């Protein structure tokens, strides 16, 4: 029996759980809020106002980066890059289209978001690439940006094994995403 046959059907419960996560969180928090006599709807609307501030705050960044990714896509740069990377990624059994996404994610979250959107547009969010990239984006963080902001604050110059650990965790996350995507969806 192959690995896939043995574990594939058991892993599909994750798909089932996915549908419960968001409703459950709402149910739990609102229910708990009611029991603790919190004015839940008032608090909700107060918090939702901040959502506007957050989105308005990142809008200039999104406009700039979506234009940049649009230029890369329309000029066929992304296709050229993917075909250049193909020999390497085939060896790793990883889709070459997603390597730029993983690399950019280590530098900037918002640039990676624009590439993610580009993948959704090109291949659809429910395609293999769309699903895999969604899962990769949920289990990785910006490496270099986070390290520079935090270590500059602490005035640290020698970062020792931080970078190794961060890259290790990211690679494990990407491998786990690839295996999970194959097991659950295909």
Residues 118-137 that bind another protein (CB under 8 A): 120-121, 124-126, 130-131, 134-137
Shortest CB 46 distance to another protein, Å: 6
Nearer to another protein, 81 or 86 (CB): 81
Q: Which of residues 11-40 bind another protein (CB under 8 A)?
A: 13-19, 21-22, 25-26, 29-30, 32-33, 36, 38-40
What 3-state DSSP class applies to 26?
helix
- Give the length of the chain: 186
Q: Which of residues 57-116 bind another protein (CB under 8 A)?
A: 58-59, 61-77, 80, 104, 107-108, 110-111, 113, 116
65 burial (CB, 10 Å; 0-12 / 13-18 / 19+) is buried
Shortest CB 125 distance to another protein, Å: 4
What 3-state DSSP class applies to 121?
helix
Dist CA 27 CA 123 (whole Å): 34
Lay out the site mask for another protein across 139-158 (x = CB under 8 A, - = otherwise).
xxxxxxxxxxxxx-xxxxxx
Question: Is the distance from CB of 3 to CB of 178 less than 8 angstroms?
Answer: no
Dist CA 67 CA 63 (whole Å): 6
Dist CA 164 CA 172 (whole Å): 12
Q: Which of residues 164-183 bind another protein (CB under 8 A)?
A: 164-166, 168-170, 172-173, 176-177, 180-181
48 binds another protein (CB under 8 A): yes
Number of residues that bind another protein (CB under 8 A): 108
């Amino acid at each position: 029996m192959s690995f896939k046959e043995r574990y594939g059907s058991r892993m599909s419960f994750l798909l089932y759980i996915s549908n419960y996560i968001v409703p459950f969180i709402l149910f739990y928090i609102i229910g708990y809020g009611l029991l603790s006599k919190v004015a839940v709807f008032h608090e909700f609307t107060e918090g939702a106002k901040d959502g506007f501030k957050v989105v308005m705050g990142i809008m200039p960044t999104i406009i700039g980066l979506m234009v940049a990714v649009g230029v890369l896509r329309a000029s066929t740069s992304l296709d050229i890059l993917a075909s250049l990377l193909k020999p390497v990624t085939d060896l790793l059994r990883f889709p070459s289209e997603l390597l730029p996404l993983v690399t950019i994610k280590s530098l900037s979250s918002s640039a990676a978001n624009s590439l993610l959107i580009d993948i959704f547009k090109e291949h659809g969010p429910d395609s293999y690439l769309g699903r895999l990239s969604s899962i990769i984006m949920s289990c990785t963080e910006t490496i270099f940006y986070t390290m520079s902001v935090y270590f500059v604050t602490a005035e640290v110059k020698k970062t020792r094994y931080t970078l190794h650990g961060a890259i290790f965790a990211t690679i494990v996350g990407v491998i786990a995403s690839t295996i999970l995507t194959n097991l659950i969806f295909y």
